[in-house]
Amino acid sequence: MQPSDSTVIYPGSFDPITNGHLDIIERAHKLFGLIIVAVADPLHKKCFFSLEDRIYFVRESTKHLERVRVEKLEGLLVDFARKKGARAIIRGLRAVSDFEYEFKMAWMNRRMHPELETLFLIPSENYAYIASSLVKEIAFLGGDVKELVPPVVYERLKDVKIDGKGPSLEVE
Ligand code: ADP
């Protein structure tokens, strides 16, 4: 099957990108002409990695996909989508627990931009249990996350050290 010409946006905080996110990006890449991965600084949670690092991790992890672009998401997603001429937003659904939040967001975005569809893709069952928050927690406590994240993220997570103030990145 040939991918369509459509541009779609895959937004998220990607703190950090995991193999679950990557699985969704690869699936979208088979279907659509251009996938813009829009990396956001969410208002409702504080990210561990800087926006620059998160963008770098996504870029490095998607180098093999020729029609993927990685950008910073500023402002409302619906405005960003209009600016990019995107037809749809891609989101990943892992479990029923994702559903309520995703459903609310999709309705809200539709209110603001009725022509923009939200499409849900389901990852391979091998990645369905992976969440960025869980990956960080395991890595910070010394567990092995090699199978869960792209190599560039795995290497960086090795630099995290834990002191009395909690996890932080080692500065050269
Ligand atoms: P946000 O802060 O917007 O939820 P995330 O980076 O946590 O950003 O997630 C972005 C999207 O990727 C969401 O739709 C989320 O459900 C999806 N996602 C996260 N982890 C996985 C995974 N392991 N498999 C499939 N989709 C995932």
Q: What is the pLDDT of residues 54-68, one digit of tens each?
A: 999 999 999 999 999
Taking the C-alpha atoms of residue 149 and residue 84, their distance in angstroms, rounded to an integer, is: 29
Ligand 1 centroid to residue 172 C-alpha, Å: 31
Token pair belonging to 122? 């389901």
The confidence band for 159, taking pLDDT boundaries of 50, 70 and 90, is confident
- Cβ atoms of 97 and 133 closer than 8 Å: no
Say what the pLDDT of residue 80 is: 98
Q: Which of 72, 77, 83 is nearest to 111 (CA)?
A: 77
Say what the pLDDT of residue 164 is: 59
Convert the pLDDT of each residue in 109-139 to its tens digit: 999 999 999 999 999 999 999 999 999 999 9
Is the pLDDT reported for residue 99 higher than 80? Answer: yes
* Choice from 36, 94, 145 to test ligand 1 binding pocket (greatest atom count within 8 A of CB): 94
Active-site option among 13, 29, 91, 132: 132
Say what the pLDDT of residue 146 is: 96
Q: Which of 49, 38, 40, 39 is nearest to 15 (CA)?
A: 49
Is the pLDDT reported for residue 172 higher than 60? Answer: no
Cis peptide bond N-terminal to 16, omega within 30 = yes
Residue with tokens 């927690």: 137
The confidence band for 165, taking pLDDT boundaries of 50, 70 and 90, is low
Taking the C-alpha atoms of residue 101 and residue 14, their distance in angstroms, rounded to an integer, is: 17
Ramachandran angles phi, psi of 27, nearest 5°: -65, -45
Q: What percent of the chain has pLDDT over 90?
A: 83
Q: Which residue has the higher pLDDT, 143 or 159?
A: 143
Q: Which of 17, 18, 9 is nearest to 56 (CA)?
A: 17
- Cβ atoms of 60 and 150 closer than 8 Å: yes
Q: Of all helices (H) and strands (E), which one includes residue 160?
A: strand 160-163
- Cβ atoms of 102 and 110 closer than 8 Å: no
Is the pLDDT reported for residue 12 higher than 60? Answer: yes
Nearest CA to ligand 1 atom 4: 12
**Average pLDDT of every residue of the chain:** 93
